[in-house]
Chains A and B, each alone.
Chain A
Amino acid sequence: MIEILLIILAPIIGGFIYGAERIVRARMQNRLGPPLLQPFYDMYKLMDKQAFIINSYHTILGIMHFVTLWVVVAFVIVGQNLLYIIFLHLLSSIFLILAGFSVKSIYSHIGANRELIAMIAYEPILIMLAVAFFMLNGSFEISAIRENSSALFSIPLLFLAFLLIVPIKLKKSPFDAIQAHQEIIGGVEVEFSGIFFEFLYMAKLLEYVFIYALVMLFAGDSFILALTLFLAVFFLVNLLDNSTARIRIDHLIKIVLVIGLTLATLNIIGLSYV
């Protein structure tokens, strides 16, 4: 029952995380910041706006991206197979990328291509993460991971590697070359407007839920540790966002692959010896 409730409320939870994030970021810069409910105000406003579309393919693929991501989040909450979820998440990214390609717009194309290239960086580490959980629990099922005790102390290096990819998925500095506001104007989302942009906006909120749910997996069955991890990662990511500059997409891939894969490999080799 509580799972169904969580699934339905997932975009709203994401909205609160995003709202809190904007406040935290503002406070870090010694500002007041928008109210907590700001993401919802944005959504209401977008509903009321006139909607422009380029072509129907573009719009439909954007909506499908949102729907698929919601399904992904639902599967995470229910506790399905982690490896499968990673591939399903890939499907949702592909919908977004196809949407970016379906219009004849330079920014959309650059954004979609960067999204595609960034996949090189985060996909292997996500799969390695799944494999590490498999080695620890003997199963890819998230429900099994949640039942066992915390994996954080068996796979600390993988946790660090995972921390590297959190900013990529959340589009945060220094790894936000994918969206790069003001440079490529949000990349893929540039051509969406009005109510159709709202789907992408909510997809972003769902992405927050997805990533933070993965962070909480490291805590296993301990709820307090999960909360601590969530808060710690939340503050760390926003601190990094405020204190670093954007780096180029090729640097992003080099840094994440070199450091992340090394950490993940070391950790898995260590696991196989223990």
Chain B
Amino acid sequence: MILGLLILAPILFSFVVFMTHLVTRNILVILFVIFLSVISVFNLISLSSVVEIALPHYFHNIFVFLDSVVLIFFLWQGIVKKHALVIALALVQIILYCEVLFLVPTLESSDILVDNIASIMYLIINIVGGIIIIYALKYVESENFSQIKKNGFIAILFLFLGVMNFIVSSNNIEIFFMLFELTTLFSYVLIAYRGNAISVENSLRALWMNQIGGVAILLALILSISHYDTLYFDILIHNRDNLFLLPIVFLILAAFVKAASIPFNKWLIGAMVAPTPVSAILHSATMVKIAPFLMLKLAPAMSGFVSISVTLIGTFVFFTASLLALNKDCFKEILGLSTIALLALMMALAAVGSEQAINATVVLIVFHAISKALLFLQAGILEKNFHLKYVDDIDGLINHSPLTVFFIIIGFASLTLPPFGAFIAKFMAIESIAQEILKNPLYIFALIFITLGSVFLTLLYFKVVTKLFAKNVDFQQEHTKLSNYYVIPSFLLLFLLIIGIYVTFKMELLSSIQIITPVILIAVVPFLFATLLFKKAHRVKEYNCGEKEEIKLGMYYFNVSPNYKKAISIVAIFGMLVLIVGVML
């Protein structure tokens, strides 16, 4: 019942939103978001055991119909936009899909399976995604689209939520494939939303890269039907044959594509041309989170060779993506590459497979969603209110909008520092890897990649702070006023972060004093900023060797040469090939 609501209500909402006018639309959207959040929370509370539902057969026909429509749409887009790769991949997909339809597996299970992880995913998708939709209401007003297009934008975001709700509850690989393709379709449409040449080019790139993932899933389907005689995740994992893990490896490959890991990283970075709420929703709540979720689903099936190679690939991507991010100067691209890095870390942890590693993955998924949403909202504010895109231009932002700076710094801190969730996840990650090293020394490389990668991420985040935090000695101008539609979602996300800290108490990983201390240390800072002004102390100018010239601060970048970039891609592709070939042998 709740499940049906979670999946169908967003679809209904999207139609309603598409139809209504401006004022009613805003109120309705906020109500819908509250409704979805309440339902997802209620679902988590009321869920006592795993829910399994088998869908009636006529649903299957609808899914096949939808899938054919989507695939033909891809083919059509490829022909219209004259993109050979899209056409070729769409054709391959259609052929493989037809083959899948002809095969009839006998082992049956339930189509829908909701466990704890799925309920947590509902929370992220509906609450974080909902907050982003509220933010998008104001954002889309300042774009110069027609009214229908604006409504359509919000409607597609709602549809996206519905599909995501469905995808995390599906147990049937065929349904999973359909939803996977639907998310590809939505991201394609959303990236191309501005309609200029760059967006079309980047959307096509996103399309064909995601189609590779689709092909991988179809291959996995065919192999799974032919060898295991099933198209259900749970049977596949339960009956797995350690000599024939190829379907699982292809599913992992699809996850790597969806998570935009290194050889496929271009599409997520290209997605930055879309309006910021799209990036926010792609990076935090939806789309890319399919990848770690799929990994979590497959985690019990991974062991030995597959586990260690996926861990090594994942941690390698974590390390290199954070290294590559060091030479980016666009705020959104920096965030994008750090998303790629953290997603790779999540997948690597899921592949480690110990209980603690799985917990770390879930915690990282949740907190990454919140923090990234917060940061992308600020990126949108920077773009709309201050017309800033590059970190080099963010000069002394604190003079104009201390609130935005505060959110950005909190966002960065929540991805690196105690007591926030990402720190807890990193902590558990290191601990679980340390336990694995005792069994297999190869995990030492995973440890090196994780430590270096996380320190590079810290460097990256706080490097960005360089320019925005520098306050002038005597700056008297009024602060810029931000719209409530921008500020309130940010505060809501901040509130979620604080709730998250409360949740970490329950994990009993750290003692309460260990969590409370950093909370106090961080919470006291804004409080002191507001109260302690040191009116009595004498103000002087900064030391500048007695010179009087105005100081112009600059930003530094780490130059990663193209040769290195190529080498990194080659190593990553080689790692995946080793994975596939190793499993075949």
Binding site for B on A (CB under 8 A): 50-61, 64, 67-68, 71, 75, 80-81, 83-84, 87-88, 90-91, 94-95, 97-98, 101-109, 112-113, 116-117, 119-120, 123-124, 127-128, 130-131, 134-135, 140, 185, 190-191, 261, 265, 268-269, 272-273
Residues 201-221 of B at the A interface (beta carbon under 8 Å): none
A181 CB to closest chain B CB (Å) equals 14
One digit per residue, 1 when the CB lies within 8 angstroms of any chain A CB and 0 when it does not, for chain B 543-568 equals 11000000101001000000000000
| Bound Cα distance from A91 to B412, whole angstroms | 12
A–B pairs, 17, beta carbons within 8 Å: A61-B525, A67-B521, A80-B511, A84-B510, A84-B514, A87-B423, A90-B458, A97-B465, A98-B465, A104-B396, A104-B470, A117-B459, A119-B459, A124-B452, A131-B434, A268-B444, A272-B441
Report whether B471 and A84 are in contact in the complex, using a CB–CB cutoff of 8 Å.
Answer: no
Pick the contact of B470: A60, A101, A134 (CB < 8 A).
Answer: A101
- Nearest chain B residue, comparing its CB with the CB of A78: B513
**B483 in contact (CB, < 8 A):** no
**B542 in contact (CB, < 8 A):** yes
A134 CB to closest chain B CB (Å) equals 5
Q: Which residues of B contact A53 (CB under 8 A)?
A: 534, 537-540
| Bound Cα distance from A87 to B430, whole angstroms | 12
- Chain B facing A: main interface SS: helix
**B517 in contact (CB, < 8 A):** yes
Report whether A56 and B465 are in contact in the complex, using a CB–CB cutoff of 8 Å.
Answer: no
Report whether A101 and B466 are in contact in the complex, using a CB–CB cutoff of 8 Å.
Answer: yes
A-binding segment of B160-168, B261-269, B413-421, B495-503: B413-421
Q: Which residues of A contact B463 (CB under 8 A)?
A: 113, 116
| Bound Cα distance from A265 to B448, whole angstroms | 8
Pick the contact of B540: A52, A95, A116 (CB < 8 A).
Answer: A52
Known contacts A60-B528, A94-B413, A104-B471; decide if A119 and B458 are in contact (CB<8 Å). yes
Report whether B510 and A123 are in contact in the complex, using a CB–CB cutoff of 8 Å.
Answer: no
Known contacts A54-B542, A120-B456, A269-B441; decide if A131 and B430 are in contact (CB<8 Å). yes
| Bound Cα distance from A120 to B457, whole angstroms | 10
Q: Which residues of A contact B462 (CB under 8 A)?
A: 94, 97-98, 101, 116
| Bound Cα distance from A81 to B448, whole angstroms | 20
Q: Which residues of A contact B396 (CB under 8 A)?
A: 104
| Bound Cα distance from A106 to B543, whole angstroms | 8
Report whether B553 and A113 are in contact in the complex, using a CB–CB cutoff of 8 Å.
Answer: no
- Nearest chain B residue, comparing its CB with the CB of A103: B542
Report whether A123 and B455 are in contact in the complex, using a CB–CB cutoff of 8 Å.
Answer: yes
Report whether B458 and A190 are in contact in the complex, using a CB–CB cutoff of 8 Å.
Answer: no
Report whether A265 and B455 are in contact in the complex, using a CB–CB cutoff of 8 Å.
Answer: no
**B518 in contact (CB, < 8 A):** yes
Report whether B418 and A272 are in contact in the complex, using a CB–CB cutoff of 8 Å.
Answer: no
| Bound Cα distance from A97 to B413, whole angstroms | 13
Report whether A84 and B418 are in contact in the complex, using a CB–CB cutoff of 8 Å.
Answer: yes
B413, B431, B510: residue with the most chain A Cβ atoms closer than 10 Å = B431
Q: Which residues of B contact A120 (CB under 8 A)?
A: 452, 455-456, 459
| Bound Cα distance from A236 to B16, whole angstroms | 74
Q: Which residues of B contact A273 (CB under 8 A)?
A: 441
**B524 in contact (CB, < 8 A):** yes
Report whether B444 and A84 are in contact in the complex, using a CB–CB cutoff of 8 Å.
Answer: no
Q: Which residues of A contact B459 (CB under 8 A)?
A: 116-117, 119-120
Pick the contact of A55: B418, B455, B473 (CB < 8 A).
Answer: B473
Report whether B427 and A105 are in contact in the complex, using a CB–CB cutoff of 8 Å.
Answer: no
Pick the contact of B417: A91, A103, A265, A269 (CB < 8 A).
Answer: A91
B461 CB to closest chain A CB (Å) equals 9
Q: Which residues of A contact B433 (CB under 8 A)?
A: 131
Q: Which residues of B contact A50 (CB under 8 A)?
A: 538
**B581 in contact (CB, < 8 A):** no
Q: Which residues of B contact A98 (CB under 8 A)?
A: 409, 462, 465, 469
Known contacts A104-B471, A272-B437; decide if A52 and B537 are in contact (CB<8 Å). yes
Residues 426-476 of B at the A interface (beta carbon under 8 Å): 426-427, 430-431, 433-434, 437-438, 440-441, 444, 447-448, 451-452, 454-456, 458-459, 462-463, 465-466, 469-473
